[in-house]
Structure 1
Amino acid sequence: MSSRDQFTSKIGFILAAAGSAIGLGAIWKFPYMAGTNGGSVFIILFVICTVLIGLPILIAEFMIGRRGQKDPITSFKEQAPNKPWFMIGWIGLVACGLILSFYSVVGGWILSYILRAVSFSLTGQGVNFSTLFTDIISNPWEVLIAQAAFMLLTLFIVQAGIKNGIETASKWMMPILFLFFILLFIRSITLDGAMEGVKFMFIPDWSYLNGDTLMLALGQAFFSLSIGVAAMITYASYLSRKEKIVTSAVNVASMNIAISLLAGLVIFPAVFALGFSPTEGPGLVFIMIPAVFEQLPFGGFLLLVFFILLLFATVTSAIALLEVVVSIGIREKSAQRKKASWLLASIIFVIGIPSALSFGILSDITIFERSIFDFVDYVTSAILMPIGAFLTSIFAGYYYSKKISREEMLASPVVYNCWLFIVRYVAPLSIAAIFINKVFFS
């Protein structure tokens, strides 16, 4: 009998899986992508792509993970013996390690902002937020210490295991995340002129409806659901066979959409009400948001709350990334979890040092005209994630017999046939289009 750790409840699994999906993708990337791509049209396409394409692949990953009940590499080896499908697990391992290596850098930036927000030095007269952001990310000692602190926070949770670490942290963090986002939304929506931001999000400007916006929305749907990096396969491997994976996947996708929209409803009404532009881009959170909150009553406190929420979301994603690496490192030897967690987290930290320094002392070093940070981001999001998602879709759609996939899904014939059609045809073609677009045309 396996003594493999498991989630103790369905809600614990859903919150942990949702936490993996809801991270910088939902709170940092989604608002600036929507802001620079027409707002409402991008949002509509994002929701459609999440529901019609992202969700079926998420179900496939849950299916593979729960059926295998092992780490991704071992799971594929046992489910497809003497076949190369286990390479999906290796792709996930490399992708998660690389993503976490630069994700922890951004997590460190958030910690730097939180420390400044605690002392209320982020708000006040004379603060140039663009200069402040540049000063933070170019300071070698600050970024490395902050990166190390973020990795230690992530490590502390993962080394405690599924029940006492990941599930417990998610049960606290995710409800708090929702609660405070709702409170920030209420504050933002009550500003004079805030409805312009709401209109920007929900009244379509169809001039933005084109192939590029569709590709970006589809890519955002995949990125925000953590598809293609074996994170959801790993989490589902700790799930009881009695749980219904379709219901869990729907809940995770719904929470991801809800948080993304809430993030937009916190940011865009305030941006429009205070006369700023929504097209700031990646600097929206670190440059524009402090400038917005500076002009609000109790702005210093609200800004502190916002960055704490961003930290929560980033940590829940980071623990999923580290858990993939640790689960493969320990296989079924749970007694080695703490030792392996420390070792692997340290290795990932070292790998991330060049990314952390790529805006400072290593800023002159570029790879294919990209900074080290941007290159690692590009390799994972444009190459490894699409390949992993593509192969996962093919495995679930073609390698599994219909008998197996029906038994795992426990869904109605209509739902099952729609899922099978998407993972066999729609998803692979969509992922291939994203891959070709990003690699050859971006």
Structure 2
Amino acid sequence: MHKEAHFSRVGYILAMAGSAIGLGTAWKFPTMVGLGGGFAFILVYLVLCLAIGAAAFLAEALLGRATRRDTVGAIYELAPSAKRAWSIGGFFVFVSIMIVPFYLVVVGWIFYYAMLCMSQLPTDPVSAKEAFGYLASNNIFGVSMGFLIVFALSIYTILKGVKKGIEKLNLVLMPSLFILLIALVTYSAIFGNFAGAASFLFTPDLSKVLDADLLLKALGLAMFSMSLGMGTVCTYAANTDKFTNLFSSVFYIIVLNTMVGILMGLVVFSFIPIENASEGPGLIFVSLASLFGSMGVAGQIIGFAFFMALIFAGITSAISIIEPTALFLMNNAKVERPKAVAYCAVFIFVVGFICILSYYKPSAEVFTFFGKSFFDLLDYITSIILMPLGALFFCVFVGWVVPKSTLAENLKHQMPKGVFEIWVWVIRIIVPAAIISVGVYNFL
């Protein structure tokens, strides 16, 4: 295995939080909170993160920490028998690299809107909707430039390695993200309907807590927002030092992740009616963009800060989902980091432009399959099918295949014995049942 400098404890927490705090938290969380009844969704989401997400996270992290290897190598080393057969499950490491192209296209859209704040945003929802539709389907230059800029920043960071690249970027971007969000919340408290947003997000309405639809949506977001099922957690844990407590770290990550989601929710619902939460992409690119555009110079400044916060969240997440494939290539293809990253970069570049062309009106039909654009199909296959299957595989492997004595040996200084016994039971029974439930729900 290639030896690189390890994360510091703070660096690991911020890097893993940066992975978790992607567009899923910064963008999808406010949308789902709006649809899920505010406080009820937040409460259920937080409980499920702590009870199920944390257990699955720790299972995947243990693979990397116990072996100091990439995902495939970790599975091969820890399997007591049929090692080659089990290591095929390391295929899920490639789910991460499949996500990056369309993910960076979306971050590129956001970058375009951040630059648009410097000139002129649309001033009403109708023109904003037309502008976003034009961007995705006609403005191939604007989309391509946004994609290339965030692509270049991501690849450059990965090239620098774990300590000098990933950790260093997160040490800058994560505090910057919180500063931007606090500034946005402060502005919202002065000029927006902050009281209404806070009331919606924090007033207990426990009547919806046991709603099956809410429970499954919250569980799905909890699993997605914690970067489970694609090797990122294993890869980052493999690069921690021996003093980093994985058990306590996961709770810091959950708290930071949830804080960003709540802060985003306070900003969004201070300016946008709660019923607009169902707009999906339109919530950002139509409702908020037109609102900022109608506010004159103040709107341009606050809009720029808002879109930059989303870009920071997106970039920190993107680099975390490139690293597992890069590490796999370094260890198994026996190449140095620059060549491994170059292979990843070529794949991301080519597939990213196919995603762009699948939305571009003149070429959209060529890149449409089974009634879905290539962009939407790739999103569906990775997010709805492969990530849950990956999380399920890792929990089954750690819970039922890796000897319990091995688990205990690696976690004996991480958590109390009683908590360890509960954790083993949860990853063996509860987490698989929960993942299967979400999978069935998504296909119904």
Shorter-chain TM-score bucket reads: over 0.9
Please tell me the residue identity of whatever aligns with 1:197.
A
Q: Is the 8 A contact 1:129 1:291 kept in 2?
A: yes
- Output one character per residue of 1:385-442: Cα deviation in whole Å (capped at 9) or x when no partner: 111100111112122223222222221123212211211111000001111221x31x
Q: Is the 8 A contact 1:130 1:287 kept in 2?
A: yes
Q: Who is 1:235 aligned against?
A: 236
Q: Who is 1:131 aligned against?
A: 130
**Displacement of 1:162 after TM fit?**
0.8
Q: Is the 8 A contact 1:35 1:280 kept in 2?
A: no
**Displacement of 1:295 after TM fit?**
4.7
State which drifts further: 275-284 or 133-142.
275-284
CA–CA distance in structure 1, aligned partners of residues 332 and 243 of structure 2: 21
CA–CA distance in structure 2, aligned partners of residues 385 and 69 of structure 1: 22
2:264 is equivalent to residue 260 of structure 1: no
Residues 369 and 227 of structure 1: CA distance in aligned 2, closer, same or farther (over 3 Å): same
Please tell me the residue identity of whatever aligns with 1:373.
F
Secondary structure, counterpart of 1:316 in structure 2: helix
Secondary structure, counterpart of 1:92 in structure 2: helix
Please tell me the residue identity of whatever aligns with 1:75.
A
CA–CA distance in structure 1, aligned partners of residues 160 and 228 of structure 2: 25
Please tell me the residue identity of whatever aligns with 1:287.
V
1:184-195 paired onto structure 2 within 5 Å: 184-191=184-191, 193-195=193-195
2:367 is equivalent to residue 391 of structure 1: no
State the identity %.
32
CA–CA distance in structure 2, aligned partners of residues 123 and 366 of structure 1: 30
CA–CA distance in structure 1, aligned partners of residues 293 and 18 of structure 2: 29
Q: Who is 1:404 aligned against?
A: 406
Q: Is the 8 A contact 2:15 2:316 kept in 1?
A: yes
Q: Is the 8 A contact 2:123 2:293 kept in 1?
A: yes
CA–CA distance in structure 2, aligned partners of residues 125 and 426 of structure 1: 47
1:274-289 paired onto structure 2 within 5 Å: 277-289=276-288
CA–CA distance in structure 1, aligned partners of residues 63 and 125 of structure 2: 54
2:431 is equivalent to residue 430 of structure 1: no
1:159-238 paired onto structure 2 within 5 Å: 159-191=159-191, 193-205=193-205, 206=207, 209-238=210-239
Residues 192 and 254 of structure 1: CA distance in aligned 2, closer, same or farther (over 3 Å): closer
2:114 is equivalent to residue 90 of structure 1: no
Please tell me the residue identity of whatever aligns with 1:317.
S
- Output one character per residue of 1:343-390: Cα deviation in whole Å (capped at 9) or x when no partner: 321112212222222222343454333322111111011111111100
* Structure 1: tracts of 5 or more residues without a match: none
* Structure 2: tracts of 5 or more residues without a match: none
Q: Who is 1:300 aligned against?
A: 300
Secondary structure, counterpart of 1:50 in structure 2: helix
Q: Who is 2:108 aligned against?
A: 108
- Output one character per residue of 1:154-184: Cα deviation in whole Å (capped at 9) or x when no partner: 0010001111111100111101111111111
Please tell me the residue identity of whatever aligns with 1:302.
I
CA–CA distance in structure 1, aligned partners of residues 360 and 72 of structure 2: 37
Q: Who is 2:341 aligned against?
A: 341
Residues 419 and 115 of structure 1: CA distance in aligned 2, closer, same or farther (over 3 Å): same
Residues 422 and 125 of structure 1: CA distance in aligned 2, closer, same or farther (over 3 Å): closer
CA–CA distance in structure 2, aligned partners of residues 91 and 276 of structure 1: 37
1:414-429 paired onto structure 2 within 5 Å: 414-429=418-433
Alignment partner of 2:377 out of 375, 378, 397: 375
State which drifts further: 323-332 or 422-431.
323-332
The number of residue pairs the alignment matches comes to 435
Secondary structure, counterpart of 2:285 in structure 1: coil
Secondary structure, counterpart of 2:19 in structure 1: helix
CA–CA distance in structure 1, aligned partners of residues 250 and 208 of structure 2: 33
Secondary structure, counterpart of 1:383 in structure 2: helix
CA–CA distance in structure 2, aligned partners of residues 383 and 233 of structure 1: 20
**Displacement of 1:223 after TM fit?**
0.7
Residues 69 and 126 of structure 1: CA distance in aligned 2, closer, same or farther (over 3 Å): closer
CA–CA distance in structure 1, aligned partners of residues 28 and 135 of structure 2: 20
1:305-344 paired onto structure 2 within 5 Å: 305-331=305-331, 336-344=336-344
**Displacement of 1:102 after TM fit?**
0.6
**Displacement of 1:325 after TM fit?**
1.3
